[in-house]
Amino acid sequence: MTGMEGKQWLEELRKRWVIFSFGKVLVLSLASALIIAALLFHFFQWGIIGFVVPFIVVFSFLSLRSKYWEISITAASRFADLHFPEVEESSGLLLKPAETLSFLEQLQLQKVNRVLPLQKQPAGPLQQMKVPLIFLLAGAAISFFVFKLPHTYFSPAPETALTINTGTKVKEVIPLQISSFKVEITPPSYTGKPTRTQKQFTILAETGSSVKWEIHTSQPLGKLSLLLNDNESLSLKPLNAEKTSWTLAKVMLIPGFYQVVLDGKKSDFYQIEIISDQPVAIKITRPAQHSTIDVGQPQQLNLGVLLNDDYGISDAYLSATMASGKGEAVSFKEKKIAFNIAFNHQKQVKLDKLIPLKELGMKPGDELYFYVNATDNHGQQSRSDMYILSIQDTTELMSLTGIDNGVNLVPEYFRSERQLIMDTEKLLKEKSTLTETEFKNRSNDLGIDQKMLRLRYGKFLGEETEANIGGGHEDPKSEFAEHGHDDHAEGAKFGDMQSTMEQYAHKHDNAEDATFFEPQLKAQLKATLTEMWKAELQLRTYFPQEALPFEYKALRLLKDLQQKSRAYVAKTTFKTSPLKMEKRLTGELTDIKIITTKSDFSGDGNSQVKMEQAIGLLERMKDGQSRTPAEMSLLLAGEKQLMDGAAIAPGAYLPGLKAIKKIIGAGQSGKVNSVDLALAEKGMNALLGKKEVSPASETAHSSSALSRSYFNQLKRSMP
């Protein structure tokens, strides 16, 4: 055994260490790049570049951080000393020149060369691959899930806004004379969608699309036309002298159905579905629809808007109206505020705008009414609901107007909260002239006053004592402790049926429910108590400046409670026609005409009755009964109604129309398919809709009439 075998073992360990460290960095980079690439593709439609760039960046960062190429054989030697006691921490002798070793070191070197190559290469470098591999599997699962999500959120390209599955073939019956055909649909330019060609007559197109038919027949025809909704005929133009190739183009605006007519012979019905362009959907995410800026809050409008459209958004702006003044001196000022961004015909846009209210000229007591107006690529405009933002006026809160004629919820308590605010502001003004002890004492006294006021209002919610506030959940042990029975509390309750029932009984005399307030008033009273709690906390901890916003909000909630029972009636105006003074008070009635309405109701022409009779006939036909000529007229009337319905909603009524056509074609005694009967009946029931049941008096039976007569006789005989 040569002296180089131990050193070769250390070199092999170093190489393994470098390889596995490189693999760790590579696996972590792949996992991170997969997740980042999936997110970039989901939100921004990035391709392979979204994977390559993050991979290079993460791989470079982790490589510079770990520096796996700098792992030396000295590090491998230290690893061997720590994990292999057999080498007796002497593997470093393998790295020293032999001529520099002493006699004892040479003896130890021979022992290390004999022991170390017999050791198995450690699994430590391999174990560091476990966590990266788990991370790679998790990254692959996350990226797969993200790739499956619809990726239409922040796509800047004005591509198709609505996915139309034109590749799905609809089963159609094509006339034998037609050898081949194609239908070319060109959507309007505002959709940004390309022209598509299909090999089926059923049409699914956007509103305003240009549809072009090109039909080739196996034999010459005298005339080829399309019959739209059974009332409009469109003739196709021949493309050759043999009249075997025909074409027609038409702009589609309404849904319906059509048939191909070849020399007077009609084909099956084909459906026309129109996809309407929807206006921009506007959602204001913040602020709330009715919001108030209280004392201490920044006077600004933090607006968040989410716009969605099927084909793209071209413009949007904020329309704001400021209202100032009171009574008849209210003035309004309108302003149009742009969002100052390029929409670029995106289908979804998220808007954020911070508007300082002082720049709009608003001051305390003013209100802002605003809404968002948006325009899509087609020029359709839509607007959001009206939102109201008001700035709280502290001078109005501190006024005493309205107390005498408002709801009488103990009016002196209103003045108490107002007095607390004035005392707090006075304390803040005198803070520089007071000692720290005096300042804290006055702040604590104000907190005590706030507590007493809170307890008074708590009585309106059934909170008679401070311990009852918040639901009245007292500790049962406290009651026994007050009477000195804490040692036997559990023993006193054992076997007590009343205390056991109280744990499971549903009580109707809850203190909170035993009040005369509406639920809305009760909720606002709870909110008022919450603000008083917060104000008391700040006052008790010697922060009166922080207590002021809570005190003002509590006062505002009380003022709102004061106005709850008032009824406001909006002022309305009525414009009458101008009077002719020359005819006034003359009594002439020659120009006054009596309006008469003439109606002609015919039982035979009632379409609803005929539809109901036709449905009954279809039910009888399921048993194989033959039809009379009168019953066939009912089916013809049902066919006409289904035809009118299919012209408006072909998807709902066209299958029923096809089925009743087959039933009528079978004649009076022909065999009818049960599927056609079911489809026709379903279409007629859909046309009739849900029939409302009108009230009617019950038919009295002989027994009930006898009982009623007996009861009436008893009433007459009673004194």
Instruction: Specify the number of domains making up the chain.
Output: 5
- pLDDT higher at 110 or 172: 172
Q: For residues 413 and 550, state if they share a domain.
A: yes
Q: For residues 9 and 121, state if they share a domain.
A: yes
Say if 320 falls within a structural domain: yes
Q: How far is CA 521 from the centre of its chain?
A: 30
Last residue within a domain, chosen from 392, 418, 434:
392
Q: For residues 433 and 542, state if they share a domain.
A: yes
Say if 196 falls within a structural domain: yes
C-alpha count within 13 angstroms, C-beta hemisphere, residue 163? 6
Res 373 pLDDT > 60: yes
Q: For residues 438 and 454, state if they share a domain.
A: yes
Helix axes 629-648, 607-621, angle to 10 degrees: 110
Q: For residues 244 and 336, state if they share a domain.
A: no
Q: For residues 225 and 254, state if they share a domain.
A: yes
Q: For residues 418 and 557, state if they share a domain.
A: yes
Whether the full predicted model's pTM is greater than 0.85, yes or no, is no
Say if 168 falls within a structural domain: no
Q: Mean pLDDT across the stretch 455-482?
A: 54
Q: For residues 415 and 444, state if they share a domain.
A: yes
Q: Mean pLDDT across the stretch 208-218?
A: 92
Res 490 pLDDT > 50: no
- pLDDT higher at 604 or 33: 33
Name the strand (E) or helix (H) holding 355.
Answer: strand 348-356
pLDDT of residue 507: 54
SS3 for 471-537, per residue? CCCCCHHHHHHHCCCHHHHHHHHCCCHHHHHHHHCCCCCCCCCCCCCCHHHHHHHHHHHHHHHHHHH
Say if 387 falls within a structural domain: yes
Strands ordered across the beta sheet of 281-286: 281-286, 300-308, 348-356
What is the pLDDT confidence band of residue 187, given thresholds at 50, 70 and 90? very high
Query: Which burial class, exposed, middle or buried, applies to 706 when counting CB atoms under 10 A from its CB (0-12, 13-18, 19+)?
Result: exposed
Phi, psi of 95 (to 5 degrees): -95, -5
Name the strand (E) or helix (H) holding 136.
Answer: helix 130-148
pLDDT of residue 149: 63
Last residue within a domain, chosen from 544, 563, 582:
563
What is the pLDDT confidence band of residue 650, given thresholds at 50, 70 and 90? confident
Res 325 pLDDT > 60: yes
Say if 239 falls within a structural domain: yes
Say if 261 falls within a structural domain: yes
Give me the domain span that covers residue 265: 178-275
Res 235 pLDDT > 50: yes
pLDDT of residue 136: 82
Instruction: Confirm if 225 and 213 have CB atoms less than 8 A apart.
Output: no
Q: For residues 49 and 136, state if they share a domain.
A: yes
Q: For residues 109 and 206, state if they share a domain.
A: no
Q: Residue type for 553, please?
A: K
pLDDT of residue 477: 41
pLDDT of residue 247: 93
Q: What is the pLDDT of residues 236-272, one digit of tens each?
A: 999 998 889 999 999 988 898 899 999 888 888 899 9
Say if 676 falls within a structural domain: yes
Q: For residues 236 and 302, state if they share a domain.
A: no
Q: Tell me the CATH number at 245.
A: 2.60.40
pLDDT of residue 516: 58
For the record, the structure tokens of 63 come out as 């490589």
pLDDT of residue 412: 42
DSSP 266-313: E---EEEEEEPPPPPEEEEEES-SEEEE-TTS--EEEEEEEEE-SS-E
pLDDT of residue 466: 56
The CA-CA-CA angle for residues 5, 6, 8, to 5°, reads: 65
Q: What is the dihedral of CA 119, 120, 121, 125, to 10 degrees?
A: -110
Q: Mean pLDDT across the stretch 216-240?
A: 90
Res 573 pLDDT > 60: no
Q: Tell me the CATH number at 367.
A: 2.60.40.10
Q: For residues 553 and 424, state if they share a domain.
A: yes
Res 440 pLDDT > 80: yes
Local structure of 181: helix, strand or coil:
strand
Instruction: Confirm if 279 and 382 have CB atoms less than 8 A apart.
Output: yes
Say if 492 falls within a structural domain: no
pLDDT of residue 453: 84
What is the pLDDT confidence band of residue 4, given thresholds at 50, 70 and 90? low
In percent, the amount of the chain with pLDDT more than 90 equals 10
pLDDT of residue 156: 37
Res 180 pLDDT > 60: yes
- pLDDT higher at 559 or 476: 559
pLDDT of residue 413: 41
> What residues contact residue 651 under an 8 Å CB cut-off, 6+ apart?
271, 273
Last residue within a domain, chosen from 392, 423, 449:
392
Q: What is the pLDDT of residues 703-719, one digit of tens each?
A: 566 777 777 777 666 65
CA distance 208 to 599: 40
CA distance 327 to 310: 45
